[in-house]
Structure 1
Amino acid sequence: MGDILAGLIDIERGSASGETLTRQLYDRLRTAILSGALPPGHRLPSSRECAQQLGLARNTVSTVIDQLAMEGYLDVAQGRRPTVAAAERKALLTGRNIAGKTPKPLGLSRWAERVRKSDWPFVHKGPPQPLATVLADSRLFPHDIWARCLRRAARRAPTGDPAINRASLRTALLRHLAEHRGVRAEARQIIIMPSAQAALELIARVLLDAGDLAWVESPGYGGARAALDAAGASVRGIALDRGGLAFKGRRDHPRLIFVTPSHQHPTGRLMPVSRRQQLLGFANDIGAAIVEDDYDSEFHYDGRPVAALQGLDDNGRVFYVGTFSKSMFSDVRSGYAIVPPDLADLFEKAQRHGSHIVPAPVQDALAEFIDDGHFAAHIRKMTRVYRGRRDHLLQALRAHAGDHLTIEPPAGGMQLLAYLDPERDDRAISARLAEFGVTARALSIHFIPPASAPGLFLGFAAWNEQEIDKAAAIIGQVLRDTATPRGRSSKVSKRPKS
């Protein structure tokens, strides 16, 4: 019996891995039991015999036997040698299958099954590639200044402060949004969240019950649909016209309407003030909430920027959502929501329920970054940079792929939309471009329900001129290689009139 055990247990003294003798004996003995090399009912040598045969201290062997007995691998009785536990008992204690029984699979929720089949989020393995959208250029961010803000905030971090929404950040952010986006609110209405997506999900959970109707733009932002779907809403896509959401004459009455009025995602269109007033009036008449996602409106290039929809709201209908990850860089995982004043306390309580909490030092660092003028200075700088990159991408696409694309130059934002001929398969083209290291989202997947309008959603903010030129050349080559014999002439349109 001892010879069998000695043949199974190979102890390395001075192991290169640094494993202790106790750990080695435990691992090897447990493996022998689980593999069946030591079958159920097999009696081991006594701890004294085992120690002698393996050249180990008796205390080491006793410790391992006691541990395996406690975990259910061995049966130990006073005055008897340790015995390998019966298969059924061992299976129950270790989570392994009893012979002949098939484990029942875990069940998933209907929501999880929908997530499995969803096209959102758009995940690319590895580093981002040109021309990925909604990405800021982190290479031009003042990381040294931001690091100093973080260090100072960490040193003075409060202890025992129950506030989860720091007054310093609320005050600084409100001052910035009131000046640059025309937001009207009190600081207490600002809820600081780990991301804009988290803010959307919190709003949906607070406002909607399962089965409630929610409108989203079509084409539109996939994250909004995901957040509403997670809340159990019945999500309906509403078509767009030149002024944005085309809701006039509709008879269905939603409880929530999601819009991106400053730079519609993905078309880049601007919702004019007249349409905004109509939307507010419609929401008031039917008792609906409006969620305004102002995701990248810090960057505006042509004409005067239009103030946020929230600033026109006199009846507490608009929930304003924003993020720092677009205006700063993607690793600043912080967003926010501005909620109506009578719901501020409820939202903070709901925020605690979901533990959607941004660490206090990060909030204080953001407050300092804003108060000291670094935030506004960075936005001014990047607005100039991104305007140049937008124009450069337009020129590069005209040069390399103008016969195959129709482009609406956006007045602002971080990406543009290039339309393809109706017969083109934008998903196949997107997949082909990915093979050559170019990220170009297919427009068709942004529609609810799925639509056949093909196009490519292209980001310019995160990419310099050399990267843009290379990507545009690849786009042109792929479009030529996959084109039908019938071509058509280049068309780069002016920004659509609102």
Structure 2
Amino acid sequence: MDDLLPGMLHLVRDGGETLTRQLTDQLRGLITKGRLAPGQRLPSSRELAQSLGLSRNTASFAIEQLAAEGYVTLSAGRRPVVAEGLSLDSRKSSPRSSRGGGAQIRVSAWASSLQRSIWPPIHKERPRPFQPGLADEREFPHDEWSRCLRRAARNAPLRRDRPINHPPLQEALLRHLVVHRGIKAVANQILFVPTAQAGLTLVANALLEPGDHAWVESPGYGGANVAFQAAGAIVSGIPLDSQGMAISSHKETPRLIFVTPSHQYPTGRLMPIGRRLELLRFAETAGACIIEDDYDGEFHYEARPVAALQGLAPSPRVFYLGTFSKATYADIRIGYVVVPEALIDIFELAQRQMGILTSITIQDALAEFIGAGAYLGHIRRMTRLYRGRRDRMLQALATETGNRLAVETPAGGMQLRPAKPSTWFSARANRQVNPAPIATSITE
């Protein structure tokens, strides 16, 4: 082997790497790949230098580095010896490794179920025409947003105290939510998360124990199903009727209920006040909490937007979930959760420990964007734009399809959907049913 070792090394004398680095890396690779066996003696530094035409210092430095890393052992008066148990080649010990490129890694049942659970589907290419849920980024005031970002970036070194939820943004957003969504809260109840899905994950992990029951709308947003299952909950899809989630259709008592009352996804239906109060009374009696996802509640085309469920609650059981990406554009990846005041400390601790954090610089820019009135101005302009697109799309569908296609006129939101018969809804209350992908965006 002493004679073979030089032939296993290929040093480039005019390359970018030093000869010492090349020799060290190549010897290390031969050991980890099993080509130099554990217990095998290597040439001395003098012999190795002579066989490779190197200085003895180069060979000595390489061997000493490998000894410091634990790849070889050195003893006075003896040649270096390859240490035991360092080969990364498992083919000799695993008969299955020759088939399929090595042993397969088993994933959890939850991970395996993701492809069946996600709705809407994830498109990795450029956004497709009529893809629901995407704001029209062409209409966003990018110049004003850029100025806010630049000022926030310049202010970053001046911020000594760095809470994970930026107080100026909490205060600016609260003023907006109180006036325009009817929220009842104080500023530090607002936690900022990377996405609304991250907010779902935070609430699910903080509230649910394995085996708890959670309710979701059926049909509904598949991301809620994913978050609750990941927390170990037993998820039940509750059918909808003309007023929203049919609460009386299921017998098991839930720990957590997910609803989209302002603009149900994907039907676009509005939950009327009677059903909202019924849901709140049920949650109070059952000791359940509610996640109210107001994903596009900013856009309401008939009169004023309906006030949020959270503002009606007689006791703090409602978690209000929102996102900026629908009202602005997709690259502003910040969502928020309004949590009950008694849970602020524990939720901030859970948020920090789970790493569900967002850039303070982006939060600072958003605080200025909202405080200067640019956010509200953009929403009002986009409401007029989306309403016009909705009306033109409805007219075009009626012209092209006649009475062959009935379309429900949405009172708000960013998509519309052809009317479907009652077979939309699950015949089994414990089964989450997602509709066929025919929801249509009005943002293009």
Question: Shorter-chain TM-score: what band?
Answer: 0.7 to 0.9
SS of the residue aligned with 1:456?
coil
**Percent identity for Structure 1 against Structure 2:** 53
In 2, the alpha carbon distance for the partners of 1:396 and 1:341 equals 48
TM superposition score normalised by structure 1: 0.78
Q: 1:64 maps to what in 2?
A: 62
User: Structure 2: where are the runs of 5+ without partners?
Assistant: 98-102
Q: 2:307 maps to what in 1?
A: 307
Contact 1:419–1:455 (8 Å) recurs in 2: no
**Residue pairs, 1:287-298, within 5 angstroms:** 287-298=287-298
* Cα displacement (A) at 1:453: 6.1
In 1, the alpha carbon distance for the partners of 2:442 and 2:247 equals 31
* Cα displacement (A) at 1:265: 0.5
* Cα displacement (A) at 1:37: 4.7
In 2, the alpha carbon distance for the partners of 1:218 and 1:210 equals 22
SS of the residue aligned with 1:191?
strand
Contact 2:168–2:364 (8 Å) recurs in 1: yes
SS of the residue aligned with 1:292?
strand
Q: 2:153 maps to what in 1?
A: 154
Q: 2:138 maps to what in 1?
A: 139
Q: 2:80 maps to what in 1?
A: 82
SS of the residue aligned with 2:439?
strand
1:51 aligns with 2:44: no
Q: 1:459 maps to what in 2?
A: 441
Give the total of aligned pairs: 435
In 1, the alpha carbon distance for the partners of 2:33 and 2:255 equals 58
- Over 3 Å counting, the alpha-carbon distance change for 1:422 and 1:216 in structure 2 is closer
Q: 1:100 maps to what in 2?
A: 93
* Cα displacement (A) at 1:111: 3.4
TM superposition score normalised by structure 2: 0.87
Contact 1:262–1:306 (8 Å) recurs in 2: yes
In 2, the alpha carbon distance for the partners of 1:28 and 1:459 equals 57
After TM superposition, the structure 1 stretch with the greater mean CA deviation from structure 2, 108-117 or 123-132, is 108-117
SS of the residue aligned with 2:10?
coil
Contact 1:213–1:255 (8 Å) recurs in 2: yes
**Residue pairs, 1:171-182, within 5 angstroms:** 171-182=171-182
SS of the residue aligned with 1:215?
strand
1:449 aligns with 2:442: no
After TM superposition, the structure 1 stretch with the greater mean CA deviation from structure 2, 395-404 or 18-27, is 395-404
SS of the residue aligned with 2:247?
coil
SS of the residue aligned with 1:326?
coil
Contact 1:422–1:452 (8 Å) recurs in 2: no
User: What are the Cα deviations for residues 120-168 of structure 1, in whole angstroms up to 9, with x where unaligned?
Assistant: 5722222222222211122322223222212222222354415222221
* Cα displacement (A) at 1:331: 1.8
SS of the residue aligned with 2:440?
strand
User: Structure 1: where are the runs of 5+ without partners?
Assistant: 424-441, 464-498
Letter of the aligned partner of 1:265 in structure 2?
Y
* Cα displacement (A) at 1:249: 6.2
Contact 2:236–2:432 (8 Å) recurs in 1: no
Letter of the aligned partner of 2:86 in structure 1?
K
* Cα displacement (A) at 1:106: 5.5
* Cα displacement (A) at 1:395: 4.5
Contact 1:219–1:448 (8 Å) recurs in 2: no
SS of the residue aligned with 1:223?
helix
Q: 1:427 maps to what in 2?
A: none
Letter of the aligned partner of 1:125 in structure 2?
K
In 2, the alpha carbon distance for the partners of 1:9 and 1:49 equals 14
Contact 2:119–2:221 (8 Å) recurs in 1: no
* Cα displacement (A) at 1:419: 5.3
In 2, the alpha carbon distance for the partners of 1:357 and 1:125 equals 24
Q: 1:24 maps to what in 2?
A: 22
After TM superposition, the structure 1 stretch with the greater mean CA deviation from structure 2, 215-224 or 57-66, is 57-66
User: What are the Cα deviations for residues 402-426 of structure 1, in whole angstroms up to 9, with x where unaligned?
Assistant: 6864422322111222357999xxx
**Residue pairs, 1:32-431, within 5 angstroms:** 32-35=30-33, 37-40=35-38, 42-85=40-83, 89-91=85-87, 95-97=88-90, 99-101=92-94, 108-115=107-114, 118-120=117-119, 122-157=121-156, 158-161=158-161, 163-248=163-248, 250-398=250-398, 405-418=405-418
Contact 2:220–2:433 (8 Å) recurs in 1: no
Letter of the aligned partner of 1:62 in structure 2?
S
* Cα displacement (A) at 1:206: 2.6
* Cα displacement (A) at 1:379: 1.1
- Over 3 Å counting, the alpha-carbon distance change for 1:133 and 1:57 in structure 2 is farther
- Over 3 Å counting, the alpha-carbon distance change for 1:403 and 1:65 in structure 2 is farther
SS of the residue aligned with 2:4?
helix
User: What are the Cα deviations for residues 315-338 of structure 1, in whole angstroms up to 9, with x where unaligned?
Assistant: 222211111111112221211111
In 2, the alpha carbon distance for the partners of 1:302 and 1:82 equals 83
In 1, the alpha carbon distance for the partners of 2:279 and 2:430 equals 20
- Over 3 Å counting, the alpha-carbon distance change for 1:26 and 1:403 in structure 2 is farther
In 2, the alpha carbon distance for the partners of 1:27 and 1:274 equals 72
After TM superposition, the structure 1 stretch with the greater mean CA deviation from structure 2, 258-267 or 408-417, is 408-417
SS of the residue aligned with 1:327?
coil
Contact 1:418–1:455 (8 Å) recurs in 2: no
* Cα displacement (A) at 1:269: 0.6
After TM superposition, the structure 1 stretch with the greater mean CA deviation from structure 2, 391-400 or 177-186, is 391-400
In 2, the alpha carbon distance for the partners of 1:84 and 1:160 equals 52
In 1, the alpha carbon distance for the partners of 2:35 and 2:437 equals 61
- Over 3 Å counting, the alpha-carbon distance change for 1:83 and 1:120 in structure 2 is farther
Runs of 4+ in 1 over 4 A off after TM superposition: 34-42, 102-110, 395-405, 419-423, 450-455
- Over 3 Å counting, the alpha-carbon distance change for 1:200 and 1:81 in structure 2 is same
In 2, the alpha carbon distance for the partners of 1:24 and 1:249 equals 71
**Residue pairs, 1:2-13, within 5 angstroms:** 4-13=4-13
